Amino acid sequence: MMKKKLKDKLPFSVKRHIGKFSVSVLRALSRTSRTIFQTSDKVFKYSQRHGFNLERELPPPLANFAKILQSPASLNPFGVSDFLLLTEHDKAVPPETVEASIIIPVFNKADFTFQCLRSLFREIDLTRNEIIVVDNASSDETALMLARLGNRLRVIRNAENKGFVEACNAGAGAARGKFLIFLNNDTIVQPEWLDALIETAESDEKIGAVGSMMIFPDGRLQEAGGIIWRDGTTHLYGYGKHAEEMQFNFVREVDYCSGASLLVSKDLFERFGGFDARFAPAYYEDTDFCMSIRAAGYKVVYQPLSKVVHYESVTAGRDSNSGFRRFYEINHGKFLDKWREVLEREHFAPGKSNIETASNRGRGRKILVAFHEVPKPDADSGNVRMFAILKTLSKNYRVVLAFTHKRANDYEYERQLGNLGIESVWIVDFDRRFRREKFDFLVLCYPHIAYYVYPTFKRMFPTAKVIFDTVDVHFVRFEREVKLTGDKQIAEEAARHKKIETELARAADQVWCVTEDDKNHLQRVTPEAKIEIVPNIHTLFGRGKSFAERADLLFIGNFNHRPNADAVYYFLDEIFPRILEKLPSVRFRIVGSNAKPELFKLNSENVRVEGFVPNVEPLFESCRVFVAPLRYGAGMKGKIGQALSFGLPTVTTGIGAEGMNLTNEREVLIADEPEAFASAVYRAYADEQLWQMLSDAGYNFIEKNFSPEIVEEKIEQALRKLNEAKMTEPTDEFAAASEQRKH
C-alpha cells in the first residue's frame, strides 16, 4: 500500500531520477564484471603464449575460470546432430532453383572454415540455397576437408591466392542464386541470419544491400553498420559496446556494411561489374560497392536480427605493415580519389559529435512518441492502435519510442519495432541517449503519460511541435461510469482527468482524437484546441470458416480496463441466460489479459474463460458471433473493429458502436436493453443469410474506413496541417503546473 501511495504521489521527474540511479548502479556493476572478465582473458592468453600451464599452476577455481575463457562460447560443442548432418552429404542434391548463394573466400585456416560451414549447415536449407567456397590455393587441410563434404558445397579452387576481391567475383560469377551473400570464413552465423537478410531485401525494391550485426566471440559488438567519413576513413558504429542495447537493434539505412556478411542481389552485383578490381586483393571493396549502390539510388540497410560472430582479421592478420593488411592504407587513397566529390558533399567530418547522426542515413523528419509501455500488437486496443500508428509513421519518418514502464517480456516486442526501423528507449535511459538530438514532432499518448513527460520533453526539444494523443477522452468515460455506478472516487477521477485533458489540449499544438464524438466532447471544454481525427488502424484478415463450420460467442478485452469487466458480468447476468433459452448448447468464450481469479471461477459447460491468448486469429476465424455489450466507455472500441476485420458478425450497444459511423442492421446489430441484445445475438447466430450480410458489410466497412492506407493519409494530413501552423505557447496555468511537476 505504501509503495502504491509513493508511486502515485511522487513527481515523474523524481521517479525518473530514482530509476536512472538504479540503472546506473547496475550498469557500473556490469561494466566492472565485464572489465574483470576481459582483463583476465588477456592475462590468461598472454600467459599461455609464454608457456604457463593454467590448469596445472592455478588453484582449481581459477583453473576452471581459465577453461571458460579459453572455450569458444559462440557455437555449441560438436554433437550428434552435427555428425548426422555431415554424414548425409552423399544424399545432398544441388537445388534446381537457388534463392541465395553464400560465397565464402578462404585461404588456409581450415578449422575456422569448418566451424563457419558447420554453423551454416545448422542454419540454412540446402534444398533452396547453395554454398560456394572459393579456395585461394590453401596449403593446409582445407582442400581435403572441403572434398569430404561432397555435394553440400560447390568448390572453386584457385591455383594461387588471388585475394578477397577476385575470389568473391569468381564465386559470384558461378552463383545461381537470386541473392549473393558474401561471408568471411572466420564467422559463425547465428539463428535467423539468412532469413532476416532475405526478408529485409524483399521488403523494399529500393534496398540494394543488407548487412548483419557483427559480434566478437566474447559477445561485445563489433559493428552495427558502418560510417564513411568525409576524409574516406571509416567507423564501425557500436564497436566494443553491448550488442543488446536497443540503439544497435533497429533496422537502419547506413553508409555501408562489412563484406564479412553482406547480401546483394545478383542482378545488381553484375550491373556494377562486381567488386571493383582496383581494390584487389582486399580492403575498401565493400565500402566502395556500397557507395556505388547508394549512388545509383538504392539503400544499404543494417539488419540486427541477422547476427554473425566474427573472429576479426583471422585470415588477413593484424599487422598493417605486412600481408594483405598493408592494402588498407593503399586502398584508402584509391577510395578517396574515386569518391572525393561525393564524400565532400554528402558525408560528415570525422568526430565523436557526429557519430550518432552519421550512423543513420534516414534523414527524414524525426518523431518522438511517448507511450506507457512497448506497444504489443497482441494486447489491448490501445496497444494495437499504437503499434499500427508507429508502423505507419516509420514509412516516412525517423521514429523513436520512449516508454515509461519496462516489462519482463519487452524484448520480443522491441525486436518487432526494431525490424520496422523504430528505436525504442526506456525513459530512464532517455537523457543519456538523446540529450544531443533534435525532434520535429512529439506525440504524447494518454493524458497521465503526456501530463508528466510534457515539461521534460518540451524543455529538451523547445522547437518541436507537440501532439497530444488522447487515445480516448478519459473524463467522458469516467463520467459515464459515475452515472452508472454513483462511485464518488470515480467522480473525483473524472474531475481530475477533465482538468488534465483540458490543460493538455490547450498546451498542445495539435490534439488527436479517435472519433468525432470524442472531438466534440473535448471541443466543448476547450474550443480553442486544434483537433484532428486519427482513428484505430485495422488490417484485414482472412474470412475464416463458413457459417455452418462455426460455433460459439466471443468476447475479447483487457480486464484491467473496467468497461470490459463490467460488460462481461453484465452479459453473464442479464443477457446470456436469455440466449441459453433458445440456444442451450452455445458457449460464451471470454478472452483477454489480466482476467481476475473470480472470473475464472465462472467456467462451466457454457462459459469458457480463456484468459490471455497470444494468437487470437483462430478464435475470430471459428466463432460465429462477436459480442460487445459495453455499458460505458469512450473513443473507438478496437475490439469491434478487430472483429469486423475478420468478417465476424458483431452485436454491440450504442456505446460500443459510438464514433465508428456503423449502421444498425447493416454492418452490425445494435441493442442496449438485455432482451433486445439477446434477441439480436440469436438472430445473428441462427440466420445464415443475415450472418453473411453482416459479415460482408462489416468487412467492407473496415476496408473503406480504417485500413492502414486510409488512416495513413489521415495522419499525413494532420502532420501537414501541424507543419504549417504556428507553435502553441502553453498557458500560464499549465506552464506553472509543469514547472511545479519538474521539482
Within a 13 Å sphere around the CA of 477, how many CA atoms are in the beta-carbon half? 22
Question: How many CB atoms are closer than 10 A to CB 597?
Answer: 6
Question: pLDDT above 70 covers what percent of the chain?
Answer: 83
The three cell numbers locating residue 300: 544499404
What is the SS3 assignment for 131? strand
Asked, for residue 539, whether it belongs to a domain, the answer is no
Q: What is the mean pLDDT of residues 607-617?
A: 94
pLDDT value, residue 70: 41
Whether residue 437 is predicted with pLDDT greater than 90 in this model: the reply is no
How open is the CA angle 424-428-433, to the nearest 5 degrees?
60
Q: Give percent of the chain with pLDDT exceeding 90.
A: 74
- Is 593 domain-assigned? yes
Residues 184 and 285 in one domain: yes
452 belongs to a structural domain: yes
Residue with more model confidence, 149 or 570: 570
Which of these ranges, 242-246, 521-525, 733-737, has the smallest mean pLDDT?
A: 733-737
Q: Is residue 30 part of a domain?
A: no
371 and 407 inside one domain: yes
CATH number where 249 lies: 3.90.550.10
159 plus 297 within the same structural domain: yes
User: What is the identity of the amino acid at 406?
Assistant: K
pLDDT tens-digit series, residues 295-341: 999 999 999 999 999 997 655 444 455 555 677 888 999 999 999 99
> Looking at residue 95, what is its pLDDT?
75
Least confident of 127-131, 362-366, 452-456, 535-539: 362-366
CA dist 335 → 127, 200, 277, 291, 348 (Å): 39, 28, 12, 10, 16
Tell whether 502 and 642 lie within a shared domain. no
Residues 308 and 270 in one domain: yes
DSSP conformational letter for 730: P
Would the pLDDT of 257 be above 60? Answer: yes
Average pLDDT in the 16-21 region? 54
Largest CA distance in the chain: 90
Alpha carbon of 664 to those of 267, 385, 538, 555: distances in Å? Answer: 55, 25, 20, 19
Task: Indicate whether 495 and 593 sit together in one domain.
Answer: no
Within this chain, do residues 59 and 84 fall inside the same structural domain, yes or no?
no
Distance CA 617, CA 403 (A): 28
Higher-pLDDT residue of 730 and 194 is: 194
Q: What is the mean pLDDT of residues 253-257?
A: 97
Query: Domain containing 606: what range?
Result: 553-706
Per the domain annotation, does 47 fall within a domain? Answer: yes
pLDDT band at residue 53 under the 50/70/90 scheme: very low
Residue 14 pLDDT: 57
Q: Where would I find the H helices in 486-589?
A: 488-507, 516-525, 562-570, 576-582
Residue 731 belongs to a domain: no
CATH number at residue 429: 3.40.50.2000
Average of pLDDT values for 560-578? 96
- List Cβ neighbours of 246 (8 Å cut-off, separation of 6 or more): 414, 418, 423, 424, 425
Q: Is 638 inside a domain boundary?
A: yes
Q: Is 249 found in the same domain as 372?
A: no
Domain end, chosen from 324, 358, 392, is at: 358
In a domain, 7, yes or no: no
**638 has pLDDT over 70:** yes
User: Average pLDDT for residues 237-249, to the nearest whole number?
Assistant: 94
Domain boundary at 533, 562, 597, which?
Answer: 533
50 and 145: one domain? no
pLDDT value at 52 more than 50? no
Query: Pick from 53, 71, 89: which residue ends a domain?
Result: 71
588 in the same domain as 525 = no
Are 214 and 98 found together in one domain?
Answer: yes
Whole-number pLDDT of residue 87: 66
Read off the pLDDT of each residue in 423-436 and give the average, rounded to a whole number.
90
Read off the pLDDT of each residue in 494-512 and give the average, rounded to a whole number.
96
**How many domains in the chain?**
4
Domain shared by 53 and 174, yes or no: no
